[in-house]
Amino acid sequence: MKPEFESIPKLGFGCMRLPLLDATDQTSIDVEQFKQMVDAFMEAGGTYFDTAFVYHEGASEKALKEALVQRYPRDAFTVATKCLAWAIDSKEEAQSNLTTSLERMGLDYVDFYLLHNVGGGRTAKFDEYGMWDFVKQKQEEGLIKNWGFSMHADADTLDALLTAHPDADFVQLQVNYLDWDDPVVQARACMDVAARHGVPVVIMEPARGGRLAELPESVAAPLVAADPDAPLVSWAYRFCMNLPNVLTVLSGMSTLEQARENAALLRESRPFSPDEQRALDEAVEVLRGLANIPCTNCRYCVKDCPQGVVIPEILALMNLELMTKNRDFVKGLYSWQAAPGPASKCIACGACEAMCPQSINIIQHLEEAAEHFE
């Protein structure tokens, strides 16, 4: 890990769900509250802020200028922002994102620049637009200090990407205690791949989009018994903050209260004691027990599907719904994770079920998925 990365505190401020003045308008960021959140975070020693070209339709980057850049010396913070080339129509527009982001934030350079959500069919757009060479060129020009990419794909994909792009300064991955041994997300295996390539990891979704902050009572019980005063979400952050090869862990903050809770974690994020680790293991076991589709992500079913249905991804989302009991949250994930082959494309030919070593009733689950999420 670069020496300058070592000094970055292990909790970063995610600016994708900032407080709003008008809940129906994503651009109406409550900048005054955001300033107080920034102050609480900075006062506790925080320095890393994460935004993106598209967060709050561009208003997140602008609010960062007001709440952070114009109020603190440049060497007191680092900023990360991102380009979603796969959602952009032309190379020129994708490459112009960097200039726009810098202008919006009032910065001469950005500390961390990410090619965002690489993987699957999206990688081709980054290739087509020459984004890999672009970030290296801008790094040479001094506009980008460090470049990397984020992805939600599996460990083999990460391995291939890091092999193809060994100059990446960091990667951003979805890691949390629920996905640690998940056969689809493969968080543990992805962390191992990053470590093997010597590339540090920024962790995203440490609380699974907030779901690990609102656990069913049966899951929360061992955690509450082990530490009645700790917010449930603190277990999720501590799990990630104490993993090796972590650059920082992003926490999307929406309220001053959350910023203050995180400030407390920044001041004291000790590793789990043996008793705490046992309590977390117990909670994870209960949580996993709530899922009941035994898909192992072997992907035998996908090969012969004439409709290109993304079966394992959809079954993983069905399990996530069972675990979190939050259909709306999973529906949001489904809208893009299942987009290449949604459940409703299934024509019930049965080819997948014939291949499934787990004898899963795939067709029936796909019907349910279409009903729940489409």
- Binding residues (CB under 6 A) for ligand SF4: these are 295-301, 305-307, 309, 311-312, 315, 346-352, 355-356, 358, 360, 362-363, 366
Based on DSSP, count helices (H) and strands (E) in the chain, helices before strands.
17, 8
> Contact 313/338 with Cβ under 8 angstroms?
yes
d(CA 39, CA 331): 34
Strand 246-252 to 201-204 pairing: parallel
Q: Which residues contact residue 24 at a Cβ distance below 8 angstroms, ignoring those fewer than 6 apart?
A: none
Nearer to ligand SF4, 131 or 366 (CB): 366
Q: Give least dist CB 353 to ligand SF4, A.
A: 7
d(CA 317, CA 313): 6
Q: Give least dist CB 122 to ligand SF4, A.
A: 21
Tokens 């291949």 correspond to what residue?
355
Q: Give least dist CB 90 to ligand SF4, A.
A: 34
Q: 76: which DSSP letter?
A: G
3-class DSSP state for residue 60? helix
Nearer to ligand SF4, 213 or 355 (CB): 355
Nearer to ligand SF4, 255 or 307 (CB): 307
Burial, 367: exposed, middle or buried (Cβ in 10 Å; 0-12, 13-18, 19+)? middle
Nearer to ligand SF4, 150 or 337 (CB): 337
Q: Give least dist CB 372 to ligand SF4, A.
A: 16
Backbone angles phi, psi at 317, to 5 degrees: -70, -35
Nearer to ligand SF4, 270 or 303 (CB): 303
